[in-house]
Structure 1
Amino acid sequence: MARDPEAEWRIDPSDYPASGSAAQRLRFLLRYAILAPSSHNTQPWLFRLAGDELELLADRRRALPVVDPHDRALVISCGAALGLLQVAMRRFGHAGDIELLPPGDADRLARVRLGPPHAATDTDRLRFEAIAARRTTRKAFASEPLPAGLAEDLHEIARLHGTQAALVTAHEDKAAIAALVARGDRAQFADPSFRRELGAWVHSRRAASRDGISGANFGMPDLMSALGGLVVRTFDMGGGVAAKDEQIATASPALLVVATTQDTPRDWLAAGASHAQMLLAITAAGLTAAYLNQPIEVSELRPALREAAGTAGAPQLLLRLGRGPRIPPAVRRPVAEVLLED
């Protein structure tokens, strides 16, 4: 029987083991955490469950040494999983007790317990429902303004996590940032090492792989994704990708830069958690998003992005926001593949 590429996205909340042990409840809640976004859909996380305690671990076997030499994006991805876990815990009545970067093991990024009881709010429920509905897409967005109140929601999420959210809507400012995205595209695709690394993660949704990205992200039919990795590795597509990204970024209703005061693993975790919860607010508002992290990944462009966005912090993520077409979700590894149990 063929593997269902969307199986991990179909979760019945009524299956939550409310009367089960803490370990049983945490194991169920992980089904939501693994739906977090990650660079190249590498899903670079592991979890260790011991009694009533869950540890979030960096799976550095899934690192991207070319595009992410310091594992900054890897830690951000793990922070995103932590952010979704927080939302799921609150929905099911747990405030959550989270310790970041506990001492000892550099790969242990957080220690999580269910914490005291919490009465779920309407906002908790809306953002929880958005977890399985969230998508990112490279397709164009409708040219309509953001819904009223969304900007305030994004700034409040940033404040709660100690991060910064710079929302850019003026055409000239979007154009300036879009030009940086295009410069980043051209620089990255000119590097054969970048193309080889990216190509290794391009798969078809119909393949057995439970990670990576479809060739459809680069305008190829998914059926051609088996060849997509070869195409990406072999040809410098930077000029075409840059032109498309520049146009689509400028035309998007808004760009969002998530920044942090410092640039440490603790900040990366905060950026991951906060932006994951921002994506839920965006989804709940009927919108979607897409990543444009090239001016952050190409380090010499990062100061220019900070200036163009008008933020004092270190840019960690760049996204465009808008109303886009409905697309299938990205593939996911099941909990059984990422959970270690003592």
Structure 2
Amino acid sequence: MKPVRIEGKVQHAAPPVPAARPQPDPWHVSADDFPADGTQEEQLWFMLQYAILAPSPLNTQPWRFHLQRTQVDLRADTARALPALDPQGRALTISCGGALFHLRVAMEYFGYASRVQLLPDDTDPTLMARAWLGMHCETPAEVLTLFNAIPKRRTSRQPFVGDPVPEDLLAQLQAEAQTEGAWLQFVTDEAARVAVADLIAQADRVQWASKEFRNELAHWLHPNRVASRDGLPASAEGFGDWASRVGPLVVRTFDLGKGHAAKDREIALGSPVLAVLGTEEEGPLSWLAAGQALAKVLLRAHAESLSASFLNQPIEVAELRPRVLDLIGRGGFPQVLLRLGYGREVPPTPRRPLREFLV
């Protein structure tokens, strides 16, 4: 997929958002239902169903969309910010970048050039991007692969098997990140892998010692059998079905950092690949680039049967973040720490229906 093209501002009248469309299960969206004979506004509405399948911290889904004919504004939903985990809004902005990349892929899959303006209004920091349908174009083969991966991509918190990841696939993932203005570096030296795992464990202990962090995490945890459309089931924090009923209370009340540190360290060391995705610069534009690069890497990885999840704790703890760079031996700004490997299929995290994201 071609790198994003920055365009000048465009102005459109703002018709009302189309009403009363069918609302499928977000993860069961099918390209067969695309309204090929509909208006471009209806087509863009359909494409947004792929944007909302992007990953986000604690599955907060922190984005909103303002649809106007052939144009859509992507906004950060600051009501879903995580001030304890993400005080700068870096992870929130990265998440919005992921949603934007999914939208770009959907546009090109359905035969339109994707045109995007990042941060189009200096006076409105919640306006992440403005995207609109460009000219009709042929769908590149690369886009077919990425698009088909969108509704199948998962975040796997399960241990991976020990099978090595081919070097040529790792090189391909690095190239994918570079096309979106980011870098991807793998932690290959065994001593560095152990040091990164130790850093993850240290960050776990720091975070869990914070009452504000525990309260925030508890807010986004739900009993396993509750049909919530956002947040995480308590099983993600190790609670069984019965215990999950009191999971949020336990998380809010007790410092479980020691146990989580040991578990995450073991998971990190058992992962075939540890990787850091970063940018050369810091700030909202770089965070959006990181989000788009991350989305592309995750989709490409899934297309190659590779699972992924995040161990971002050392980047979330401000005093530990610089040490990530020391361990990988490069400059820039680390944005995401992730693990890659092969594992069993896992269910998706829940998603709200598209209508709840529309402004």
Q: What letter matches 1:7 in structure 2?
A: D
- The whole-number CA distance in structure 1 between the counterparts of 2:109 and 2:242 is 38
Counterpart in 2 of 1:212? 231
Would you say the 8 A contact 1:35–1:131 is kept in 2?
yes
Task: After TM superposition, list the pairs within 5 Å mapping 1:267-306 onto structure 2.
Answer: 267-306=286-325
Would you say the 8 A contact 2:224–2:240 is kept in 1?
no
Gap runs ≥5 in structure 2: 1-23
- The whole-number CA distance in structure 1 between the counterparts of 2:167 and 2:354 is 37
Query: Within the alignment, does 1:80 sit opposite 2:102 as a pair?
Result: no
Q: Is 245-254 or 207-216 further displaced after alignment?
A: 207-216
**3-state SS in 1 of match to 2:112:** coil
Compute the displacement of 1:148 (Å).
Answer: 4.7
Q: Is 163-172 or 64-73 further displaced after alignment?
A: 163-172
Query: Within the alignment, does 1:70 sit opposite 2:88 as a pair?
Result: yes
Counterpart in 2 of 1:96? 114
Would you say the 8 A contact 1:205–1:331 is kept in 2?
no
**3-state SS in 1 of match to 2:293:** helix
Counterpart in 1 of 2:58? 40
> Which among 137, 141, 146 is matched to residue 122 of structure 1?
141
Deviations 1:44-103 (A, max 9, x none): 000000121100001100111111111111111111111111111121112200000002
Query: Within the alignment, does 1:23 sit opposite 2:23 as a pair?
Result: no
Counterpart in 2 of 1:55? 73
Deviations 1:96-118 (A, max 9, x none): 00000002422111000111223
- The whole-number CA distance in structure 2 between the counterparts of 1:324 and 1:100 is 36
Compute the displacement of 1:201 (Å).
Answer: 0.4
**3-state SS in 2 of match to 1:257:** strand
Deviations 1:175-214 (A, max 9, x none): 1111110010000001111111111100135324211011
Q: Is 218-227 or 329-338 further displaced after alignment?
A: 218-227
- The whole-number CA distance in structure 1 between the counterparts of 2:282 and 2:244 is 36
Give the number of aligned pairs: 335
Counterpart in 2 of 1:3? none
Counterpart in 2 of 1:134? 153
- The whole-number CA distance in structure 1 between the counterparts of 2:188 and 2:113 is 35
Would you say the 8 A contact 1:171–1:250 is kept in 2?
no
Q: Is 65-74 or 85-94 further displaced after alignment?
A: 85-94
| Inter-CA distance 223–89: structure 2 relative to 1 (3 Å threshold) | farther
Q: What letter matches 2:28 in structure 1?
A: R
> Which among 340, 355, 359 is matched to residue 321 of structure 1?
340
Would you say the 8 A contact 2:98–2:295 is kept in 1?
yes
Q: Show structure 1 runs of 4+ deviating over 4 A.
A: none
Would you say the 8 A contact 1:55–1:110 is kept in 2?
yes
Q: Is 245-254 or 220-229 further displaced after alignment?
A: 220-229
- The whole-number CA distance in structure 1 between the counterparts of 2:133 and 2:259 is 48
Compute the displacement of 1:308 (Å).
Answer: 1.0
Would you say the 8 A contact 1:306–1:312 is kept in 2?
yes
Q: TM-score, normalised by structure 2?
A: 0.90
Would you say the 8 A contact 1:76–1:268 is kept in 2?
yes
Would you say the 8 A contact 2:176–2:297 is kept in 1?
yes
Q: What letter matches 2:334 in structure 1?
A: P
Q: What letter matches 2:258 in structure 1?
A: G
**3-state SS in 2 of match to 1:109:** strand
**3-state SS in 2 of match to 1:115:** strand
Gap runs ≥5 in structure 1: 1-5
Q: What letter matches 1:98 in structure 2?
A: V
Would you say the 8 A contact 2:224–2:234 is kept in 1?
no
- The whole-number CA distance in structure 1 between the counterparts of 2:128 and 2:327 is 32
Q: TM-score, normalised by structure 1?
A: 0.95
- The whole-number CA distance in structure 1 between the counterparts of 2:243 and 2:136 is 49
Would you say the 8 A contact 1:161–1:270 is kept in 2?
yes
Deviations 1:272-322 (A, max 9, x none): 111011000110110111111100000111111012123321000000000
Q: What letter matches 1:169 in structure 2?
A: T
- The whole-number CA distance in structure 2 between the counterparts of 1:19 and 1:308 is 54
- The whole-number CA distance in structure 2 between the counterparts of 1:308 and 1:266 is 25
Task: After TM superposition, list the pairs within 5 Å mapping 1:137-152 onto structure 2.
Answer: 137-152=156-171
Counterpart in 1 of 2:32? 14
Q: Is 145-154 or 326-335 further displaced after alignment?
A: 145-154
CA RMSD of aligned residues (A): 1.4
Would you say the 8 A contact 1:165–1:257 is kept in 2?
yes
**3-state SS in 2 of match to 1:114:** strand
**3-state SS in 1 of match to 2:129:** strand
- The whole-number CA distance in structure 2 between the counterparts of 1:261 and 1:64 is 25
